[in-house]
Structure 1
Amino acid sequence: MASISIPSSKTIIFLLLILFLLGVSCCSASREPFACDPNDKTTRGLSFCQTSLPIEERVKDLIGRLTLQEKVRLLVNNASAVPRLGIKEYEWWSEALHGVSNVGPGTKFGGHFPGATSFPQVITTAASFNASLWESIGRVVSDEARAMYNGGVAGLTYWSPNVNILRDPRWGRGQETPGEDPVVVGTYAASYVKGLQGNDRNRLKVAACCKHFTAYDLDDWNGVDRFHFNAKVSKQDIEDTFNVPFRMCVKEGKVASVMCSYNQVNGVPTCADPNLLKKTVRAQWRLDGYIVSDCDSVGVLYDAQHYTSTPEEAAAVAIKAGLDLDCGPFLAVHSENAVKKGLLSEIDISSALSNTLTMQMRLGMFDGEPSAQPYGHLGPKDVCTPAHQELAHEAAVQGIVLLKNHGHSLPLSTHRLRTVAVIGPNSDVNVTMIGNYAGVACAYTTPLQGISRYTRAIHQQGCADVACKDDKLFNAAIDASRHADATVLVMGLDQSIEAESKDRTGLLLPGRQQELVSKVASAAKGPIILVLLSGGPIDVSFAKNDNRIGGLVWAGYPGQAGGAAIADVLFGKHNPGGKLPMTWYPQDYITNLPMTAMDMRSSPSNNYPGRTYRFYEGPVVYPFGYGLSYSKFLLSIASAPTVFSVPVDGHRKTAQNTTTLTSKTTISDKAIRVTHTRCNKLSLGLHVDVKNVGSRDGSHTLLVFSTPPTGHGHWAPHKQLVAFQKVRVAAGSQQRVRISIHVCKYLSVVDRSGIRRVPLGQHNLHIGDARHSVSLQAATFGVIKS
């Protein structure tokens, strides 16, 4: 029998270490170079792979090496590989609306990336009115997105955020937006994009995309769908409302991409409109990036809208209008024939490719090994971290809005409550809380689980689902409320009621939910708290006016930590500070108001009520910007100017003539055209004292509204938000907040011709109960050439 040699303990440890490292190597996430592999001898010497050269030269070199057939296959989201040049295929379509999503084919969950941090749905996060929070969320999402890209399971181009205006309360995608106010939506867009993309313009962390440009806010209503809808929009409303967030996203956020929408605007599909794409986005706003279609939009303008006679004409008109990338196969199928038929030149295709290839180079995709790049260290350890999940919880807390607190029913006391009845179809949900365009969350805390951490919960669903079609489960719910010390009803909506391709038919709670709430309220022995999950507003006038219902809370879709956040607010661990980012209308508001009517301004002669708080003056359930706290805040204006000079060019010398700016062509109804002022850094500053006279520390949102001078007829909104700021104030203390209002951006109005002007005269500022008037006066300066 042969002898057996026993390895030493050091040898065993060494072998185990090697096996461990091999295991890590074989199982860890890694990605091969997309292009310019340093080990590829055929491409590493080519100019487009030389990182020392300017990106513009590298892109020009690469395009010069591509054949027409190769070029057209790069015009679509699932861009083909170019093996002879060492370029792999790439999927452009990934989503990151409020966390890395699996909606687009570019992202896959599983293996080392079973989930990603799922933040509250955008409408909820917007209710925080906290721009620094929005940017922080963007940074976390892009960390996780880069980590997943490095792991080979995600892309670097994310078609988020959605910055359309929530114009109509029935819109199923309103939940994806930051609400109804253009300034809030635009500020959200710029903040979130900055967080996603990082601070280096030449080295993006990921590429964001502001969508859907423009006047897109109808999915499927009364037989009209987004593929066939022609939005008839005035120049005034385009400039004053619909384009504001996109302009801020491009000019202030420096977004990498803009997505054109499905609908037509005034008879022209947005993805085929050079006035929108080339003239506005590219030339006026100076987009440094690419323009992409919504998915299958180019096909839609041909197949559904019949805008062109042939598919080749559709491909040509879209590319010539300024479209660079097609989400869908259409351009790859028809662009080559469009060139052969003389409808399109190869130069047009190369021009589109220069924008997309430049973006890929700014993302480092042509710089060799991903692991050697600035974000190459990110991996599975950087996804779903405790810090990221805590931020998701903090975002949910900040977005929760306290709508009613009759008799100080809230916060609930853990000392006096031994049991709480937790009732409702949304009381023990998880996926519902993350809304749409979400991925796979790291973990979930349902409302029931959150409340159970504070006290013993007696759970009854009350309705089988949010449709609540019958009362079979009512009795058990009513009985639970009779025996509990307090009752929390978690009601509202979900994606079966409001979603992409699904607009709502009304504003009331679905089915028999209202009946359940009222019956429970009649029977319960303790305080009744109604918590609502929804994206869009709900007419809950019955609960607002029922004194048996002591508390009313809107939590939106609060994300993976939503249940914990709701419970923390209900039991007073956190003091609510959220404000509604949209108006809550009564059900009667939508009577005889088609979703297809795009006018923002009211027309009393036509019984047209107007839209959003800026133009609607009728009854509301809760107004835009409404939200209570467990504390009381007193506001006072410490200092502010009473007169402010707007510098105006004395004359504008043109090739034809010299026009004095006091003429009717320039100052119309005492309003100066913005282009005739010296707007750069023209800001009005004021200081506001915020005093917390309550017994709890809390955060307060300063919402600064302006009412323009009278005499501008149909130009001006009734009031408009001109600034907002979040401030935390300890109980019994006071904070002084400086607010800066850019005069040309925020104190201006838009006339019927779509021209933005600064009204002269008295502007009335409203900050809570504080009021201040400032008179804008023209100050004429010298002559300049236009």
Structure 2
Amino acid sequence: MKSVKSILLGTIASLAFATACSSSQTDTETAQTTEEAKSSEFRFMDPSLSPKERALDLVSHMTLEEKAAQMYDKAAAIPRLGLHEYNWWNEALHGVARAGHATVFPQAIGMAATWDEDLMLEVANVISDEGRAKHHFYANEDVYAMYGGLTFWSPNINIFRDPRWGRGQETYGEDPYLTGRMAVNFINGLQGDDDKYFKSVATVKHYAVHSGPEPSRHRDNYIATDADLYETYLPAFKTAFDETEVASVMCAYNAVWGDPACGSERLMKDLLREELGFDGYVVSDCGAIGDFYYDEEKKAEGTAPYAAHDHVDTRAQAAALSVNMGTDLNCGDGEGNKMDALPQAVKEGLITEETIDQSVVRLYSALFKLGMYDDPSLVPWSNISIDTVASPSHLEKSEEAARASLVLLKNDGILPLKPDTKVAVIGPNADNWWTLVANYYGQPTAPVTALKGIKAKIGAENVSYSVGSTIAGDIYSNYKAVPSNTLFHKNEAGELVPGVKAAYYEDKFLSGEPSIETVEENIDHYWLRTPTTDGLNDEFGAIWSGVIVPEETGSYRFQPSRWSTLEINGKEVTDTDDIEMKAGESYEFTQSLKFDSGWPRDQLDKYAYLNWTDVSRDYKAEALAAAEDAEVILFFGGIDANLEGEEMGVELDGFLGGDRTHINLPAPQEKLLKELHATGKPVVLVNFSGSAMALNWEDENLPAIVQAFYPGEKSGTAIADLLWGEFSPSGRLPVTFYKSLEGMPAFDDYSMENRTYKYYEGEQLYPFGHGLSYTSFEYSDLKLETAYAANENLQVSVKVTNSGDKASREIVQAYVTRDTLANVSTPRVELAAFDAIELAPKESQTVTLSIKPDAIGYFNENGKLTFPEDGSFTLSIGGGQPGFDAPYTSVSVDYSN
């Protein structure tokens, strides 16, 4: 691809305005367009104008076809206007994702478990620092690829209403208030505090009634009552719009009240634009516009990847409907830009060009506010160096967040462990890289698994280890790179010599002669730059060939990296094949890699590996042997993001399509736990999961349980420090841990009846807000107005004392309990405020909280905030929900209308 670097526009000198030209353009044509741009004086290049004024002028210079091309996540360059291509798709859920190295923080659900707004702001500021650094690093070489931009499609502020939802790990939990508070601070950290320029763009998603199931999300229609809409599904979005300048919204796949979310007049116009007052741009979820017209017939003829809503008949109708309803940008799905049908839609009278203009103006208003086309000296953050990515201070912040996210669910006194305790580290998540990164992740630079962290803490001589079992069904978690001592190739004399032959091709299809031929120790690579061209975003191919000589006889399962094909002894091998191998025998293999630009393209994240595991080992026997000399067994179990996540191909007991069909610990793990428990040695469970687990047997039989969620790249260090008492745990559950799914409504039933702590009528295993400490706290001197005037904030203060002998964070939680319920949609109990404080032993602090009216009133069947004419409510403040084990103090408050 040819490009023009750093062209100057108008009368403004030194504007770094990189222009990407199409691959068909000649050098002469490129020069002509450059001179045309230089000789023009475009008002849109004047930084003294407002972003909207600049965008209006820019759009006035575009043709209808050019406008439509800008309304695609892969926006095309317009060289005559000096516009470079731009890819709108980037991710920053818990660190900059899919663009190589980045600091990896706890997954969003783990960040919610910190209940710490200040920490969330600090984390988001680190993420946006790294996003800025990466963007400028790429743009300096004219790379505007997917995952290299400044428009992040985070945070996910949907409500985790059902524990089966695999993407619930991406949210801030089940409570709208907690979600809103975490969202505000994440958005502000991402977008920055400059009066003129955004640091980056935050996108709240998925607007608005969306939380699974994953396998049917493209065709489902969900019905929410107005009471549930205003009480549960809208509040976090409203909070974001009221308290931040969030620039973007992503609309969802599913239909709501019969209309696709991105084409719903009520959702998109009546609520979003008018009632909620959002004036930024809206991007569709990827493929959601195609879902408008995809059906069984289109799927059968190959013009659609799947059947969906079948709401309209044509591409033009789908594009027009989405834009008429306020969707400005189409994220594609491998079937091209749906907005390219807008010119036809204009001809058919389905939409006006003025409506299209409005969308493009919104898009470019955001880009101008990012300073993308201004002199870097005018834009804060332009000089953030790539060296800031994964810097020591950023990694320290990841570890701090990991510590704050860990939740101590149960402790009979075994924790913290004594310094000289010998332990057996057992379980499929003890050394599982995936528990560190969850989904939507960057590549960590300093990953520390639990096993690694514990060995560093107490010395390898005090630790025995076994993976113990599969993680679920026949799924193994202990894959490692095939080691160099088993890899060979034949020299010219036909002798086996160490290393693997590697050939790298500039052509991704592996044609022609390789540009690089070398011998490598093994196949375990990450590249910042393409090995053949040294480019940041170039496609390439590679072939590794050699001989595997295993040191132990066994049945091996191989895991080649994405984009790869593996052959052993001339036969293609998949990640489900078990290959019988004998120690000392030779097995010829080739692995080919084709970095393709398919959908989605992510050449900024370049890697290759060949992993394996021996599935014939007696893992149970190994685990019991590891436990023999230990004083305490540390079991690291649960699940990982290969089992729960977004629209996945997983189908086995407990899991379907990324979602869960039950919430029990996978059977292989529970069976092993019972056998370890039968040894008579104490077993401490550390559970990793992005969702609630029914740890019923474990709660009854084990002395201590820690919930780790997915705690980021410094997980192992934080967990070891918690287990040995370097700090007091302070995380709190952002979701309810149920005993089972019994009594839970159907997954695709969007009624909130009997869901979440606010409405659940059954017995809870661990309540929302629960979490233990290594110290104790007391609450006293609760002060507030004795009568409450409706529609006013209620100010309340309470004295909190650390009555124990260890310094600790405490999460102060305020709940409203209603004495009478107006209807089934009225929450029984509701989080009204919270704060995170640090207290030394015996220290006291007075905490002041402000309770907003919508936490005290309720939303009636028409979605109106309502206050009873008379009556009272109970306000409780403590370390958890009232009525459970956490300390708290309460007062009855009368209504005064």
TM-score range, shorter chain: 0.7 to 0.9
Deviation of the 1:312 alpha carbon: 1.1
Q: Which moved more, 1:46-55 or 1:396-405?
A: 46-55
Distance in 2, Cα, partners of 1:704 & 1:43: 63
Distance in 1 (alpha carbons) for counterparts of 2:34 and 2:349:
40
Find the counterpart in structure 2 of residue 553 from structure 1.
706
Question: Quick one: distance in 1 between partners of 2:249 and 2:367?
Answer: 15
Greater shift after overlay, 392-401 or 52-61?
52-61
Indicate the SS of the match to 1:282. Answer: helix
Selected match of 2:894 from 733, 753, 775: 775
Give distance in 1, aligned partners of 2:233 and 2:833: 19
SS at match of 1:127: helix
Counterparts of 1:621-640 in structure 2, within 5 Å, are: 621-640=765-784
Whether the aligned pair in 1 keeps the contact of 2:19 and 2:77 (CA below 8 Å) is no
Does the 8 A contact of 1:403 with 1:553 survive in 2? yes
* Structure 2 residue 464 is the aligned partner of structure 1 residue 458: yes
- Find the counterpart in structure 2 of residue 704 from structure 1: 814
Indicate yes or no: 2:670 matched with 1:514: yes
Identical amino acids, percent of aligned pairs: 36
* 1:557–1:254 Cα change, 3 Å: same
* Alpha-carbon separation, structure 2, partners of 1:228 and 1:120: 32
Aligned to 1:144: 130
Could you say if the C-alpha distance between residues 39 and 333 of structure 1 is closer, same or farther in structure 2, counting changes exceeding 3 Å?
A: closer
| 681, 684, 692: which one aligns with 2:794 | 684
Decide which of 127, 134, 139 is 2:120's aligned counterpart: 134
User: Paired residue for 2:291, among 261, 277, 300?
Assistant: 300
Q: CA deviation at 1:307?
A: 0.5
Q: 1: CA distance between counterparts of 2:171 and 2:129? A: 22
Q: Distance in 2 between matches of 1:50 and 1:712?
A: 57
**Helix, strand or coil at the partner of 1:515:** helix
Query: By how many angstroms is 1:230 displaced?
Result: 0.6
Give CA deviations for 1:356-411 in whole Å, capped at 9, x if unaligned: 0100010011214x4653211112121111111111001010010001101x1000
SS of structure 1 residue aligned to 2:272: helix
Q: Per the alignment, in what secondary structure is the counterpart of residue 890 of structure 2?
A: strand
TM superposition shift of 1:83: 0.5
1:6-56, Cα deviation, whole Å (9 max, x unpaired): xxxxxxxxxxxxxxxxxxxxxxxxx95247999986266210001122222
Q: Does the Cα contact within 8 Å between 2:252 and 2:284 map onto a contact in 1?
A: yes
Is the Cα contact below 8 Å between 2:434 and 2:641 reproduced in 1?
no
Which position in structure 2 is the counterpart of 1:757? 866
> Is 1:254 matched with 2:273?
no
Cα offset for 1:188?
Answer: 1.1
Residues 254 and 287, structure 1, Cα contact 8 Å, conserved in 2 = no
Mapping of residues 516-555 of structure 1, within 5 Å? 516-525=672-681, 527-546=682-701, 549-555=702-708
Residue 739 of structure 1 pairs with residue 849 of structure 2: yes
- How far is the alpha carbon of 1:333 from its aligned partner? 2.6
In 2, the alpha carbon distance for the partners of 1:524 and 1:563 equals 26
Match of 2:270 among 246, 261, 279: 279
CA contact 2:448–2:715 (8 Å) conserved in 1: yes
Q: Deviation per CA, 1:474-515: give whole Å up to 9, x if none.
A: 122122212112110000001232111111111111131111
For residues 35 and 185 of structure 2, the distance between their equivalents in structure 1, rounded to whole angstroms, comes to 39
Q: Could you report, residue by residue, the CA deviation over 1:251-271 in whole angstroms, capped at 9, with x for unpaired residues?
A: 212211010000001111110
- What is the match of residue 256 of structure 2? 265
Query: Which of 614, 618, 642 pairs up with 1:496?
Result: 642
Q: Compute the displacement of 1:331 (Å).
A: 3.0
Aligned ranges 1:326-725 → 2 under 5 Å: 326-328=330-332, 329-368=336-375, 370=376, 373-406=379-412, 408-415=413-420, 417=421, 419-455=422-458, 456-467=462-473, 472-501=618-647, 502-525=658-681, 527-546=682-701, 549-589=702-742, 593-601=745-753, 610-646=754-790, 679=791, 682-710=792-820, 712-725=822-835
Of the three residues 33, 48, 54, the one matched with 2:17 is 33
| 1:186 matched to 2:180 | yes
1:40 and 1:65 map into 2 onto residues whose CA distance is 14
CA-based RMSD of the aligned residues comes to: 2.0
Q: Quick check: 749-758 or 325-334, which moved more?
A: 325-334
More moved, 307-316 vs 80-89 = 307-316
Question: Shift in Å at residue 776 of structure 1?
Answer: 2.2
Distance (Å, rounded) in 1 between the aligned partners of 2:213 and 2:93: 18
Q: Structure 1 length normalisation: TM-score?
A: 0.84
Per-residue CA deviations over 1:413-466 (Å, capped at 9, x if unaligned) read 113x1x210000000122332110111112200100111122221111101444
Superposed displacement of residue 524, structure 1: 4.8
2:876 partner SS: strand
Which stretches of structure 1, 4 residues or longer, exceed 4 Å deviation after superposition?
34-41, 468-471
Among 58, 61, 82, the alignment partner of 1:62 is 58
Please tell me whether the aligned partners of residues 471 and 666 of structure 2 are also in contact (alpha carbons under 8 angstroms): no
The offset of 1:201, in angstroms, is 4.7
Q: Secondary structure at the match of 1:545?
A: helix
One-letter identity of the residue aligned with 1:400: L
Residue pairs, 1:95-114, within 5 angstroms: 95-102=91-98, 108-109=99-100
CA distance in structure 2 between the partners assigned to 1:713 and 1:145 by the alignment: 46
Task: Provide the C-alpha distance between the structure 1 equivalents of 2:677 and 2:836, rounded to a whole number of angstroms.
Answer: 35
Please give the secondary structure, in 1, of the residue aligned with 2:350: coil
Partner of 1:663: none
**Counterpart in the other structure of 2:601:** none
Conservation of the 8 A alpha-carbon contact between 1:324 and 1:352: yes
Give how far 1:244 is off: 1.0
Q: Distance in 1 between matches of 2:729 and 2:17?
A: 47
1:91 aligns with 2:87: yes
Query: Deviation of residue 539 (structure 1)?
Result: 0.6
Count of aligned pairs between the two proteins = 685
**Any residues of structure 2 matched to 1:303-314 within 5 Å, and which?**
303=294, 304-314=308-318
Q: Which residue of 2 aligns with 1:42?
A: 38
> SS at 2:850's partner residue?
strand
Cα pair 2:51 2:366 within 8 Å, conserved? no
Maintained 8 Å contact 1:292/1:325: yes
Deviates more, 1:264-273 or 1:493-502: 493-502
Letter of the 1:746 partner, please give it: A
Q: 1:120 to 1:91 in 2, by over 3 A?
A: same
* Structure 2: gaps spanning 5 or more residues: 1-14, 21-32, 295-307, 476-614, 648-657, 879-887
The alpha carbon displacement at 1:277 in A equals 1.4
**2:176 aligned with 1:195, yes or no?**
no
Q: Which residue identity is paired with 2:132?
A: R
Letter in 2 for 1:59: A
The Cα offsets for residues 213-234 of structure 1, whole Å up to 9 and x where unpaired, read as 11111133xxx51001111111
C-alpha displacement of 1:170 = 0.6
Query: Letter of the aligned partner of 1:731 in structure 2?
Result: P
One-letter amino acid matched to 1:716: T
Q: Conserved in 1, the CA contact under 8 Å of 2:328 and 2:362?
A: yes
**What letter corresponds to residue 612 of structure 1 in structure 2?**
T
SS for the counterpart of 1:149 is helix
The one-letter amino acid of 2:893's match is V
What do the CA deviations read for 1:137-166 (whole angstroms, capped 9, x no partner)?
A: 111100000000111161010000000000
| Cα offset, 1:131, TM superposition | 0.7
